[in-house]
Amino acid sequence: MYRLATLSTLLICALVLAFSNTGCVRKTEFDAQTAALEQNKTDLAQCKAELEEASRNAERLVELQALLDSRTERANQDLEDLRKSLDESAALNASLRQELERMGANVDKLLQEKGALATNLESTKNRLEELRRAQAAAERRNQQMRQLVERFRKMADAGVLKVAVRRGRMVLQLPNDVLFDSGQAEVKPNGIATIKDVAAILKTIPNRQFQVAGHTDNEPIRSSAYPSNWYLSSSRAIKVVESLIASGVAPANLSASGYGEFDPIAANNSPANKAKNRRIEIIIQPNVDELLTQFSEAGL
């Protein structure tokens, strides 16, 4: 707009100067002035177009500025909403964190309790399995005992021996009257036959030790050959061992001991009870491996 005013002023000044310097104007000068005027008109039109364009651009800028302001305000509002949302999320996260910590503590406690229960359950299972194995082993031993009792039943029915269990061990009890004469340690012929029958069964029992124990009643012995019942009971046990060896029982599986009157099975208060106490016992010793397994299964 400033350029248009300047051009108009210059044009007027040129005309004034032209007419004031001379009363008449040459054609060439007139043509030149006319051409300059046309050029000024062209420039003026161009300036006007540029001014209009600039005006339109200014209006667009105002519109864009208004749009920018609106979007900025909206963005600020969105930012404020987002900030509020973040604050709420932070508060929620803090609450959730506290709840998770509380639940985590409870879970840790539950896991510890679960671990303890699992350990106890596993221990109980192991103990139950041990008891089952011990029961199975005991059942096997009982079955073996029943089989042995059955094999000795004929002799038991004949009254030449008795099968008993003492202190957890199977014991064959042979009355002294069957094996020996009173006050003697030599085995009678009928006693030799009985020992042979016993030996035939003992030889079929593998990996066992047999202890032969002599016992008497409490009557003091009256024999110069045996100073006491200890000597008599021990001598009788040794004689039975020798007879078993002669019948084929391995010597390494045998031992002899004498208890005299000090391990009675009945009170020495009657002839019948004293007769019970005068006896030879063949003790079938438990297998050491079975004992160790039994102790291990029992947790000893």
56-95 pLDDT per residue, tens: 888 888 888 888 888 888 888 887 887 887 788 788 878 8
Structural fold of domain 151-297: 60s Ribosomal Protein L30; Chain: A; (3.30.1330)
**Of 265 and 295, the one with more pLDDT:** 265
Nearest CA among 73, 87, 3, 79 for reference residue 42? 3
Provide mean pLDDT across the span 277-298: 71
Q: Can you give the pTM of this predicted structure?
A: 0.55
- At residue 283, the pLDDT reads 96
Q: Using CA atoms, how far apart are residues 282 and 198, in angstroms rounded to an integer? A: 9
| Residue 295: band (very low, low, confident or very high) from pLDDT cuts 50, 70, 90 | very low
The 10s digit of each residue's pLDDT in 3-51 is: 555 555 655 555 555 545 554 557 788 888 888 888 888 888 888 888 8
Q: Using CA atoms, how far apart are residues 236 and 176, in angstroms rounded to an integer? A: 9
273 has pLDDT over 90: yes
- At residue 7, the pLDDT reads 55
- At residue 267, the pLDDT reads 97
- At residue 87, the pLDDT reads 82
| DSSP character at residue 158 | T
Q: Using CA atoms, how far apart are residues 205 and 200, in angstroms rounded to an integer? A: 10
Q: Using CA atoms, how far apart are residues 51 and 56, in angstroms rounded to an integer? A: 9
Amino acid code (one letter) for 9: T
Q: Using CA atoms, how far apart are residues 24 and 30, in angstroms rounded to an integer? A: 10
Q: How far apart are the first and last CA of the chain?
A: 118
If you average pLDDT over every residue of the chain, what do you get? 84
299 has pLDDT over 70: no
Query: Sheet holding 162-166: strands in order across?
Result: 162-166, 169-175, 279-284, 210-215, 254-258
**Least confident piece of the model among 141-150, 173-182, 210-219:** 141-150
**Of 160 and 112, the one with more pLDDT:** 160
Provide mean pLDDT across the span 234-242: 97
Amino acid code (one letter) for 57: N
| Residue 236: band (very low, low, confident or very high) from pLDDT cuts 50, 70, 90 | very high
264 has pLDDT over 90: yes
Contact 258, 234 (CB under 8 A): yes
Q: Using CA atoms, how far apart are residues 13 and 40, in angstroms rounded to an integer? A: 13
Count Cβ atoms within 10 A of the Cβ of residue 277 and give its class: 0-12 exposed, 13-18 middle, 19 or more buried: buried
Q: Determine which helix (DSSP H) or strand (DSSP E) holds 173, and give its type and residue range.
A: strand 169-175
**Of 255 and 138, the one with more pLDDT:** 255
